[in-house]
């Protein structure tokens, strides 16, 4: 099958995400040229939980979009599970995205026309059509894990912000992705709910061994990630254990 050949020649299966000298320039060659990312190089391995921090405008979301293949870098090499993504067609990007990556966004981004369960199943249904019994069972299991088993058949707009975000997490995990990208998943939630949601990320990180990259403004949460990458003006200024960061971080906040 053509679907799997993209991943067969992966060099190192433990490295989920590898960026080499990534640059991103918006409106290149025009007076509005904006060099957002400068020579970003980093690796994320299987089972890592990484916080991506920085002030607004530092390029966090742009970097996350590149990692998620929602956008393409201007130069540099981006590998997902060892496979170089440049030069792939739009269709291959879509396929790689649906195979390897799960997304969680700041504003939960559920599709209100569908029920909670259908939202969780959406990535599978888009790829395989009608869900199988096994897929259905797995979605129900995930909803149970995030504590929403009783809301399965309900429309999403009956849920609170924290509940919706938990649905989004279940949806991100339903394809058993190697990489989950979360863009300020707790940005809209109160402290207690944010803690609960974050705990889910920690749990699934351990249980499913998926790499998770979380963009966050909240130093309390970034401290709970073993590793922190800090961006300033589109450059990586820190990449290491979160425990060593506090002094740097607190000066900004």
Partner 1 sequence: MSFVSRIRDLRNSLWIEWRIALRFLADNPLQTLLISVAISVGAAVIVFITALMMGLQNNVIDRTLGTQAHIRIEATRQHNNFSETPEGKYIWALESPRAQRLQTINNWQEVRDVLDQNPILNTVSPLISGPAFAQKGTARASVAIMGIDPERYAGIIELKDYLQEGRFSVGASNVLIGVQLAEDLGLRTGDKLRLDAGDNRQSIMDVAGIFELGVRELDSRYVYTDLKQAQTLLNLPGGVTILELKISDVFTAEYWAQRIKKLTGLHVQSWMESNGQLLNALRSQTMTTQMIRIFVALSVIFGIASVLAVSVVQRTREIGILRAMGSSQQQILRVFLLQGGLLGLAGSLLGVMVGYTLVQVFNNIGERLFYIGLEPSMLLSAILIATASGVIAAMVPARRAAKYDPAVAIRYV
> Nearest CA to 17 among 58, 67, 66?
67
- Edge-to-edge strand list for the sheet holding 179-183: 101-104, 179-183, 211-215, 49-53, 227-232, 235-241
Nearer CB in complex with partner 1: 179/245:
179
Tokens representing 226? 């073993």
Phi and psi (nearest 5°) for 131? -70, 145
What CA–CA distance (Å, rounded) separates 194 from 200?
Answer: 10
- Choose one: 25-33, 111-119, 201-209, 211-219; the region binding partner 1 (CB under 8 A): 111-119
Least separation in angstroms between residue 217's CB and partner 1 is 17
Q: How many residues bind partner 1 (CB under 8 A)?
A: 31
Site residues for partner 1, 60-89, by CB under 8 A, read: 65, 68, 70-71
- Annotate each residue in 115-154 with x if it binds partner 1 (CB under 8 A) or - if it does not, as one string: -------xx-xxxxxx------------------------
Angstrom distance (rounded) from CA 214 to CA 226: 12
According to CB under 8 A, which one of 8, 27, 56, 112 is a site residue for partner 1?
A: 112
110, 168 contact by CB (below 8 A): yes
* Contact positions vs partner 1 (CB under 8 A): 1-2, 65, 68, 70-71, 90-91, 94-95, 97-99, 103, 105, 109-114, 122-123, 125-130, 171, 175
């Amino acid at each position: 099958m053509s679907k799997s050949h993209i991943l067969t020649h992966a060099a190192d299966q433990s490295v989920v995400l590898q960026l080499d000298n990534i640059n991103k320039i918006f409106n290149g060659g025009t007076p509005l040229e904006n060099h957002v990312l400068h020579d970003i190089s980093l690796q994320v391995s299987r089972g890592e939980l990484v916080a991506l921090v920085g002030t607004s405008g530092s390029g966090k979301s742009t970097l996350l979009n590149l990692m998620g293949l929602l956008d393409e870098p201007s130069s540099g090499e981006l590998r997902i599970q060892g496979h170089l993504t440049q030069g792939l067609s739009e269709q291959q990007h879509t396929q790689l995205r649906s195979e390897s990556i799960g997304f969680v966004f700041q504003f939960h981004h559920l599709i209100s026309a569908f029920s909670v369960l259908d939202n969780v199943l959406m990535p599978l249904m888009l790829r395989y059509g009608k869900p199988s019994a096994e897929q259905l069972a797995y979605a129900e299991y995930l909803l149970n894990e995030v504590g929403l088993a009783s809301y399965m058949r309900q429309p999403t707009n009956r849920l609170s912000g924290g509940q919706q975000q938990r649905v989004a997490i279940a949806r991100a995990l339903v394809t058993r992705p190697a990489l989950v990208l979360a863009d300020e998943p707790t940005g809209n939630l109160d402290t207690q709910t944010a803690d609960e949601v974050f705990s889910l990320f920690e749990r699934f990180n351990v249980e499913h061994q998926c790499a998770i990259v979380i963009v966050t403004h909240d130093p309390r949460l970034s401290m709970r990630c073993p590793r922190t990458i800090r961006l300033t003006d589109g450059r990586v200024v820190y990449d290491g254990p979160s425990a060593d960061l506090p002094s740097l971080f607190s000066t900004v906040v």
